[in-house]
Structure 1
């Protein structure tokens, strides 16, 4: 299937033409048929050879331009309709400006009412206007829906147009909702033009404006129930788990985790000079229309603050319109959906220079160069193809190679600096390094470690001996002449320079075991004590333990407390202990 939108001035015969081509009534409302004027979007379809063509019939009156833009936003091609007896008119020009702003490149000119006026003049003028836009030179056909003149030629031209349209694109689903309603017995139904990807019954999707996921209960395309629909296509989606009143035109059904809802974007403007744009305009994207505040940055770039967040991606094409002047200010190409803040002096000018280099094509190397570090899932939501991702550096983190090399150099410098400032510590704590390097995740620090750096116990060091030789010698001196369960006196420790920091380093290095403040034993002493205490008649008293270990009460009390806390000994109600685990 291919989808084509109509475009043209009010009462130039767009709906009549669709009716003649399809045999279907595109005007859905009784008010439209009574007034003979399309007010909202209409839909019809026909078969051209082996191809099905769906038409989105849009209103031509200037009061309903917002409805018109909702219809043409997601479609790849347009059938521009001009009446031979009236020629080029104001809404012809505005509709063409909208198509040009959206970058539509496929179209067909149809000059109607050829039975009332020679179509040559209208055709020549319309072609001159159209060929100045993104459409360029397009085929033209003169018809009369009343007499049937030119309808076979029109079908042939449409078949050629459809044959030249791009095929459906794979990728995540973003279905812009142009209608929502309820069917008794089925529930909520939304319709839209599927521009990429595929929908299947049972799919779970995100719906903008709704906090919880929704599930596809059923699908219809061209009036038939189907199990799946591939782009491009007109589709009706029966949703489970959502009320119709929560869905409005401009909402979007999305593949979960593949789109970023953004209310701040940097764009390139194709149209009016950026410096002359009003401060407030309306942004049209898909079927959505939201007010935006415009901040000029460069000659053709600007920052837009949206009135509500939309699912935007790099490369999206949208339209800016001034509703007060009934004027299309231009098209925009989205350059960045997660732009940096502009709080520092000169930041706006610097940002303009960056935007000059961007073309709106999602590029993994360029995005990594600008963002330095980013999770793969976050980068995918900006519109970058996941198939182009490099291997993650840690978890799902992606890094710019040049930035990663700089971080490795900085890590080495930080580890060296920490070692000089803290010679007693067996390396720099990973968390401290994370803060110093400004990294968002500890895993990134660990991933940066390369030989000769090593990671031990949550610290990064330059390898080699983890304990300074001076500290080892001081500890050995402190225990000279002491029994296996004797602790050096506090004044002796102080004489040897073994203060709290030094003792802490000795504990971390496994040289000593700290029982209490200023009370330390040789490494392995608690294990030796357990073996000796196990030889006592069980249970035993504190005094019996002190005598068996040949130590002081200053050591015995905290030592037995340590053994109790580790489950090696069990203390009874009578204050006696039993060795329960040797």
Structure 2
């Protein structure tokens, strides 16, 4: 299926033309037929030779319904601009054309209607002149009469050529469906409609959006029940779940595939600067935003509610009072906070060269570090490059080099501040580098730095301070003859070995801290098991104490450590056996 939206001034014959092309009436509301103008979005379809089904979204042309018009045009890739031969170029036509231009609609046909009521020549010339400076430049301009049918074949031919040139959307893309109508069907429940630009919606799919989760109970396209529909297509979805707040402007997405944001950095293009509080239109959504200029053409928008946006999205700002529109290109839907004076101007400089095309190398150059999932949510293709890949994290080459240069200084500073614990845990190093994961810091380590047991060591940090090393050597000598006669607290204090020093000795592999204030040689566990093997099994604590030649102060925590290591097993009667 292909989808084309109409545009043009009220009472210029849009609905009549759609009716002539399709044989169906897009004005389905009684109020629309009574008043003779389109109020809500309507759509009809027909089959065109060579391109298949083409659905027309018929939008209102009255200035009071511009919001509705934009909700119909927003997600649609092609337009049919309608101009009446018996009317001058009208303000609403100009506004609709400006909106199509701002949205980047480059596939279109201009239909000059009512050629049976007036010479279409002037209207054709004016239309060609007006579209020349827009994205519709070069679009065919066809004169016709919806009432008599004259020129309809030429219009159909032009539509076939235009539709055949539309890009083919990706059926596997993540779904983002802007809801443009919501109603209730007796016996079915809630139904929403919208234009699906890409991706596939299937019966049974779970979609998310605006903090809600819904399940697709039924899918309909062109009034036919389908098990699945791929974009571009007009779809009606029968939904169940959290549907109470669904309305026009709501958006349904593939769960987890989109980044929902209320702050976005954009490029704004237009005749002048937008006001402080314009309206933002994207898809079928219309919401208030706060516009903050940051530099020439670069602005930050704060949205009244989060939307699923990606780099390269095209939307528009509108000032209803001045009937002016501005083109908006999304540059960064996940921007950094502006914390310091002058940060806005610096941010504008960073984004000055951005053109809205998502490129991984460019984004990593700006962000430094990014998670793979967030990159995909922002619509950035995962491509090969010279960036660093660390698990789910991607680190730009420039960021990796800059971070790696900082490491030696940070490790050295830590060693000076903690002489008994000179090795820096990678988690601490990550915090000081300002990166989100310790694995990133570990991946940046280069010689002479090295990683040992999750800690980064610098050159010359293997040994203990001389005074501590001498005291530890004394303890080692005393334990050599009596390996389980752990020095007393008084003896450790006499040697200047507090808990910090003992911990450092243990990390260096010189002692084993069995419990606070109790240290043995590093191989004491193996020696203890070897001696306990000579006892009758099971054995008592007293027998173990005598075999090891030590005191209850030492044997109790030692046996507890052996129990936890599975090398001994404590029985219900408090005796033990080897594990």
Provide TM-score, normalisation by structure 2: 0.91
- Please state how far the C-alpha of 1:128 moved relative to its aligned partner: 1.6
Offset from partner CA, 1:288-311 (integer Å, 9 cap, x none):
100111111222221111111111
- Please state how far the C-alpha of 1:332 moved relative to its aligned partner: 0.8
CA change 1:114–1:544 in 2 (3 A) is closer
- Please state how far the C-alpha of 1:541 moved relative to its aligned partner: 7.3
1:320 aligns to 2:321 (yes or no) = no
CA change 1:539–1:557 in 2 (3 A) is farther
Contact 1:393 1:399 (8 Å CA) reproduced: yes
In the alignment, the residues of structure 2 paired with residue 465 and residue 128 of structure 1 have an alpha-carbon distance, to the nearest angstrom, of: 77
Bigger shift: residues 107-116 or 439-448:
439-448
1:240 aligns to 2:224 (yes or no) = no
Contact 1:22 1:46 (8 Å CA) reproduced: yes
Q: 1:265 maps to which residue?
A: 264
Contact 1:373 1:397 (8 Å CA) reproduced: yes
Please list, as runs of the form range in 1=range in 2, the aligned pairs for 1:57-206 lying within 5 A after superposition.
57-170=58-171, 171-206=173-208
Q: 1:349 maps to which residue?
A: 345
- State the secondary structure of the residue aligned to 1:280: coil
Q: 1:18 maps to which residue?
A: 18
- State the secondary structure of the residue aligned to 2:435: coil
In the alignment, the residues of structure 2 paired with residue 537 and residue 3 of structure 1 have an alpha-carbon distance, to the nearest angstrom, of: 88
In the alignment, the residues of structure 1 paired with residue 527 and residue 170 of structure 2 have an alpha-carbon distance, to the nearest angstrom, of: 73
Contact 2:358 2:381 (8 Å CA) reproduced: yes
Gaps spanning 5+ residues in structure 2: where? none
Q: 1:379 maps to which residue?
A: 375
Contact 1:260 1:312 (8 Å CA) reproduced: yes
In the alignment, the residues of structure 2 paired with residue 539 and residue 220 of structure 1 have an alpha-carbon distance, to the nearest angstrom, of: 75
CA change 1:189–1:522 in 2 (3 A) is same
- State the secondary structure of the residue aligned to 1:297: strand
- Please state how far the C-alpha of 1:120 moved relative to its aligned partner: 1.0
CA change 1:172–1:484 in 2 (3 A) is closer
CA change 1:561–1:232 in 2 (3 A) is closer
- Please state how far the C-alpha of 1:473 moved relative to its aligned partner: 4.9
Bigger shift: residues 104-113 or 516-525:
516-525
- State the secondary structure of the residue aligned to 1:378: helix
Q: Match for 2:298 among 290, 296, 301? A: 301
In the alignment, the residues of structure 2 paired with residue 541 and residue 176 of structure 1 have an alpha-carbon distance, to the nearest angstrom, of: 75
CA change 1:114–1:534 in 2 (3 A) is closer
Please list, as runs of the form range in 1=range in 2, the aligned pairs for 1:25-64 lying within 5 A after superposition.
25-51=25-51, 52-64=53-65
Offset from partner CA, 1:130-156 (integer Å, 9 cap, x none):
222221132122112222221222222
Contact 2:484 2:554 (8 Å CA) reproduced: no
CA change 1:30–1:426 in 2 (3 A) is same
Q: 1:439 maps to which residue?
A: 435
Q: Report the count of equivalent residues.
A: 570
- State the secondary structure of the residue aligned to 1:254: strand
Bigger shift: residues 173-182 or 519-528:
519-528
Superposition RMSD in Å: 2.7
Offset from partner CA, 1:104-136 (integer Å, 9 cap, x none):
112212111111111111221222222222211
In the alignment, the residues of structure 2 paired with residue 163 and residue 318 of structure 1 have an alpha-carbon distance, to the nearest angstrom, of: 25
In the alignment, the residues of structure 2 paired with residue 539 and residue 173 of structure 1 have an alpha-carbon distance, to the nearest angstrom, of: 67
In the alignment, the residues of structure 1 paired with residue 23 and residue 339 of structure 2 have an alpha-carbon distance, to the nearest angstrom, of: 59
CA change 1:134–1:533 in 2 (3 A) is closer
Q: 1:513 maps to which residue?
A: 512
- State the secondary structure of the residue aligned to 1:149: coil
Q: 1:528 maps to which residue?
A: 527
CA change 1:209–1:558 in 2 (3 A) is same
Contact 1:273 1:299 (8 Å CA) reproduced: no
In the alignment, the residues of structure 2 paired with residue 376 and residue 480 of structure 1 have an alpha-carbon distance, to the nearest angstrom, of: 54
- State the secondary structure of the residue aligned to 1:34: helix
Contact 2:464 2:504 (8 Å CA) reproduced: no
1:292 aligns to 2:294 (yes or no) = no
Q: 1:502 maps to which residue?
A: 501
Gaps spanning 5+ residues in structure 1: where? none
Offset from partner CA, 1:180-203 (integer Å, 9 cap, x none):
222233332221111122223333
CA change 1:458–1:225 in 2 (3 A) is same
Please list, as runs of the form range in 1=range in 2, the aligned pairs for 1:326-475 lying within 5 A after superposition.
327-387=323-383, 393-425=389-421, 427-462=423-458, 466-468=462-464, 470=466, 473-475=470-472
Contact 1:393 1:447 (8 Å CA) reproduced: no
- Please state how far the C-alpha of 1:420 moved relative to its aligned partner: 4.5
- Please state how far the C-alpha of 1:355 moved relative to its aligned partner: 2.1
- Please state how far the C-alpha of 1:59 moved relative to its aligned partner: 0.9
CA change 1:394–1:142 in 2 (3 A) is same
In the alignment, the residues of structure 1 paired with residue 28 and residue 78 of structure 2 have an alpha-carbon distance, to the nearest angstrom, of: 22
Bigger shift: residues 304-313 or 411-420:
411-420
In the alignment, the residues of structure 2 paired with residue 144 and residue 97 of structure 1 have an alpha-carbon distance, to the nearest angstrom, of: 25
Contact 2:50 2:160 (8 Å CA) reproduced: no
- Please state how far the C-alpha of 1:516 moved relative to its aligned partner: 5.2
Provide TM-score, normalisation by structure 1: 0.90
Q: 1:6 maps to which residue?
A: 6
CA change 1:96–1:427 in 2 (3 A) is same
